[in-house]
Amino acid sequence: MKRLQGFIIGFVVSCILLLNVNVFAESINVLFNVVNIKVNGTQVAKIGDSYTLSNGQKVPYSISYKGTTYLPMRKLAELLGKEVTWDDKTKTAIVNDKTTPTPAPTPTPTPSEATQIGDQWVVSIDKEDLPFTLNAKNGMSLTINKVTASTGGIRINLTLKNNSTVSDKGQPMTSTWEIFDGKETLKYLNQDDIFYDVDYIRSGQSITGNVNFAGLSHDTDSIILYGGLWQYIDCEEFKIIIKLK
């Protein structure tokens, strides 16, 4: 009885092995790269061409089997302007239209930050950046609203403000300011009456007006405004380079 059982088991195992050998022994005949490939009239591969993967391995552009030509999915998607992703969890290859990232909006240019060197604030700004505000640590601020500059004269419309809690200490000392045009220090001419009428700018108060200088001595791309922001006896000087062009 045991011999019979052993024979039956051995026969079944032999059949399974023979069956597996036949399955794995089956082969197919295919042809590699036997067609030209064009996309929208542009030839992307000729007969005999292969392409190289990112790992350096060469693979065929096309495989022909029983009258049908097969192309690698990822390569075909690239040729058609698509993108392929792989979901390993579901074993799914996904072909989608390429998504063009929305470009980030171009930030609006802002004036350079002022740098304090000793007691002097230094900043370079473009005329298009106006109005520009320079805040001193002593609580005083200068806002340049508009600049017109030519050989006929220079006019600066500006606002002085006392941002501190100290009243009656901000002094509008605009008549002591200077402008240098690269060759000459231009003569101070006059200023609006508001700067004469106010001895001190109170806490939270601001005054706006024009300060006028002689005209440019030559054609120039920039001018330099020198001055000081006064909080009683405390003065913080500034050097503002204003690019005119």
- The reply to whether 135 and 211 lie within a common domain is yes
Output the pTM of the full model.
Answer: 0.55
| Domain residue limits at 53 | 29-97
- The reply to whether 34 and 82 lie within a common domain is yes
- The reply to whether 130 and 198 lie within a common domain is yes
- The reply to whether 127 and 92 lie within a common domain is no
- The reply to whether 59 and 158 lie within a common domain is no
- The reply to whether 234 and 123 lie within a common domain is yes
- Reading the chain (245 residues) residue by residue, the pLDDT tens digits are 444 444 444 444 444 444 444 444 457 788 888 888 888 878 878 888 887 877 878 888 888 888 888 888 887 877 787 888 888 888 888 888 877 666 655 544 444 578 888 779 999 999 988 999 999 999 999 999 999 999 999 999 999 999 998 888 899 999 999 999 999 999 999 999 999 998 899 999 999 999 999 999 999 999 999 999 999 889 999 999 999 98
Distances (CA, A) of 176 to 90, 144, 187, 217, 241: 78, 16, 11, 20, 17
Contact 176, 169 (CB under 8 A): no
Any idea which residue has 């501190």 for tokens? 164
- The reply to whether 121 and 87 lie within a common domain is no
Q: How far apart are CA 203 and CA 193, in angstroms?
A: 20
Q: How far apart are CA 126 and CA 199, in angstroms?
A: 31
Cβ count near 84 (within 10 Å):
15
Q: Which residues make Cβ contacts (< 8 Å) with residue 188, sequence separation at least 6?
A: 175, 177, 178, 211, 212, 213
Final residue of a domain: which of 71, 97, 123? 97
Amino acid at site 212 = N
The pLDDT assigned to 60 comes to 87
Amino acid at site 205 = Q
In a domain, 16, yes or no: no
Amino acid at site 27 = S
The domain that contains 208 carries what CATH number? 2.60.40.1240
CA-based end-to-end distance of the chain: 110
- The reply to whether 124 and 193 lie within a common domain is yes
In a domain, 156, yes or no: yes
Counted domains in the chain: 2
- The reply to whether 122 and 232 lie within a common domain is yes
